[in-house]
Amino acid sequence: MSAEPFPVVAVMGNPNTGKSTLFNRLTGMKQKVANYPGVTVEYHIGTLAGEQPIQLVDVPGTYALAAHSPDEMVAVDVLAGNFKAIEKPQAILMVIDAANLRRNMYLASQVLEMDLPVVIALNMMDVAQSKAITINPQQLAKMLSCEVIPIVASKGKGIAELTTALRAAVQQKSIASISILQDLKQQAHDYAQQLKPKALAYEIERALIDEDGYAETRLIEKYGIDELARLKQVRLKIAKDQPLAALEVKERYHWVNKIVDEVEQREDIKTHWSEHFDEIISHPVIGSLLFISVMAAVFQSVFSWATPFMNWIDGGTGWLISELSERLPENALSSLLIDGVIAGVGSVIIFLPQIIILFAFIIILEDSGYMARAAFLVDRLMRFCGLSGQSFIPMLSSFACAVPGIMATRVIPDSKDRFATILAAPFMTCSARLPVYALLIAAFIPKTEYLSGFINLQGLVLLGLYLLGIMGGIGTAFLLKKTLLKGQTPTFLMELPPYHLPNIKSVLYRLLERAKIFLKRAGTVIFTVAVIIWALAYFPHSESIQQHYEIQREALEDESAKKELTRIDNAEQAALLEDSYLGRMGKTVEPLFRPLGWDWKVSAAVIASFPAREVVIAVLGTIYSVGSEVDENDKGLIHQVQVSTHPNGQTVFTLPMVIGLLLFYAFCLQCAATVAAIRRETNTWRWPIFAWVYMTSIGYVSALFAFQVFS
Amino acid sequence: MSADEFLALGLVLIIAMIAIKSYLNSRHKGCSGCHHKCDSAFSDKK
């Protein structure tokens, strides 16, 4: 952090250059994740260990240092040392994809102008070689006046040489910066000197180039509206009648072409195997079928592979509950610990194996380069509903959590597209929906197998729910773009990264991060809710009810009446739960949900889960634990919901009711954090209220339809 | 209300108060309380 004396090196590069793999290789587990202040962009900060440690800051992948949006400004701000928590870098590690030198050199041309020592890591040399591309690193180093180290980050090749070069770079005193747009640089420097307080010349440069961009807005906010006229005047002086941004591109590419023509040789070879493969994968029919098959296989594995691990956790929780029940006296405190904390939190933690397996697949598919192809396929679908591929990344992020997904929409320049994506994102199946789906599917969907066990019904239902979420989101965007947010579909360019084997260390690190987030939430939010729900389900614990059943118990005379004793105990638990504050609340809202086939327990659990949907599991866990049958060992929540009945003896969780409940959870907006994020990103309460009413209504109507039609 | 019930209720109230306080703190630092991991130490600009 800022207090540490280590020199800072900013790690920069285009997206898909293996920057993260290299970062993980250099820092190992000595890293942490954080968000840049005020923006959505997440970054990693890590330490390159050794006698002379260096702090590495992973700057978000970018094609150019531009400053149109706050997110884009992050890279400029890191290099300028504008963040309180990150010291101004003493050197830059520029990661370049050797197979795409020309394109990568554009950003390099900007980085080399920053008056900081630069080390270039020429990554993926093996891929370049396989494409018959030869690069002369020594000549490149000479032309750029900086160190150029050829590496293969995924295999650890060249890392030692790179580390040595980095250590030398942070000690370097004299810097031989290049200067491509000399006039602009001089004008920006003079401009910055005249401002009070003085500004950084590079920020002025960006404000001059990126007309109407964020750097310009920030300059005007800080120094006043008069700066706008001054900026215009300087622009006119430098570029005459052409836009400065166009001049920058022209000049830089002129420089880049000169360098690349000197150092790179490309032999004409037959089409690379990956290009043939891409033709199949991105084919509208074959590609789509392949994508659905891959996702189906993933969801099968979520259920088949997680079961033994879930049984272990379930067994562990059950053992803990039975041991504590035997050892602790039967009173409110032990009930709080056993029925509230352990049953509530345990019922959510059990889904950790499924979450880890699902995310392992998603991360592997992302790292292998397949997800980018999937984005390309989905782009067609996005265009159909009036959005572009730009909306795909926010939607993909929403499969983990809608909040970063909504925040990631900041990269969409058109406000109508942005709002449509913001309202579509919460439909995607986030990790909080997964435990709810998993519980209901495991309890009520049979494990019917097809195609010699390759496909099972449970996995298919889960896949169906994911697809339903996607359809809900796309349908919403389509409706909005045809009505409230009518507008043109923007163009979108996307780069397909090369295929490569995922790095196990990197996959494991990201999985660990995901598991930590889930467990932290179980230990904080879920824990608190479980404890509060326990109190609501336990109190007032009426003495008159207890006395009523005590009289019945005393009336029993011998051991043969044990069965009757159990019946009385069960009836007492049920009466106390029904009389509890939670019972009263559930009964108040029950009429609203009765048409959906829900009893007061389900109604109470659903109401309690409006702030965060996965809470429903903990609430059901606590409700059924507090009112559990006293003669049976704990058989877990899955069993409890299966045997739950209405007062008239009818089963509560019938298949139509379960389908309805699944649909309700697929569509309903039960997440306070998402509502808050929509409010912040749209800057009005109108959209979050609209989203909440719209999604909750769809959820309710779908559940009503499913129950009434299928019953 | 028995002593153990009183103690249990007290514990629940303390836990709820700690949760509300930490939520308000995180809101103050610009966090929306989502699943996403972030570091509140990074929430101020120079």
Span A258-304, pLDDT tens digits: 999 999 998 765 666 777 888 888 888 888 888 888 877 887 787 77
Q: Which residues of B touch A33 (CB under 8 A)?
A: 37-39
Residues in chain B: 46
Concatenated DSSP letters for A79-109? HHT-BTTSPPPSEEEEEEEGGGHHHHHHHHH
A332 with B4: Cβ contact below 8 A: yes
Among A403, A510, A626, A669, the residue to mutate for chain B (most B Cβ within 10 A)? A403
8 Å CB contact between A90 and A232: no
Alpha-carbon distance A45 to nearest alpha carbon in chain B (angstroms): 11
The structure tokens listed for A19 are 């920057």
A539 with B11: Cβ contact below 8 A: no
Provide the terminal-to-terminal Cα distance of chain A, rounded to the nearest Å.
60
The pLDDT of residue A622 is 76
The pLDDT of residue B14 is 93
Q: Which residues of A touch B9 (CB under 8 A)?
A: 332, 535, 539
> How far is Cα of residue A597 from the mean position of the Cα atoms in its chain?
34
Q: Which residues of A touch B22 (CB under 8 A)?
A: 524
Across A679-708, average pLDDT: 92
Residues 22-61 of A with CB under 8 A from B: 32-38, 42
Alpha-carbon distance of A280 to A274, in angstroms, equals 10
8 Å CB contact between A674 and A680: no
8 Å CB contact between A12 and A75: yes
% of residues, chain A, pLDDT over 90: 25
Concatenated DSSP letters for A124-185? -HHHHHHTTEEE-HHHHHHHHTSEEEE-BGGGTBTHHHHHHHHHHHHH--------SSHHHH
Say yes or no to pLDDT of A569 above 70.
Answer: yes
Say yes or no to pLDDT of A693 above 90.
Answer: yes
The pLDDT of residue B12 is 92
B46 in A contact zone (CB under 8 Å):
yes
ipTM over 0.85: no
B14 in A contact zone (CB under 8 Å):
no
Q: Which of A35, A82, A541 sits opposite B46 (nearest CB)?
A: A82
Say yes or no to pLDDT of A181 above 90.
Answer: no
Decide which of B44 and A325 is more confident. Answer: A325
Residues 511-550 of A with CB under 8 A from B: 513, 516-518, 520-521, 524-525, 527-528, 531-532, 534-535, 538-539, 541
Most confident of A152-161, A397-406, B34-43: A152-161
The pLDDT of residue A557 is 66
pLDDT tens for residues A204-225?
Answer: 888 888 887 778 888 888 888 8
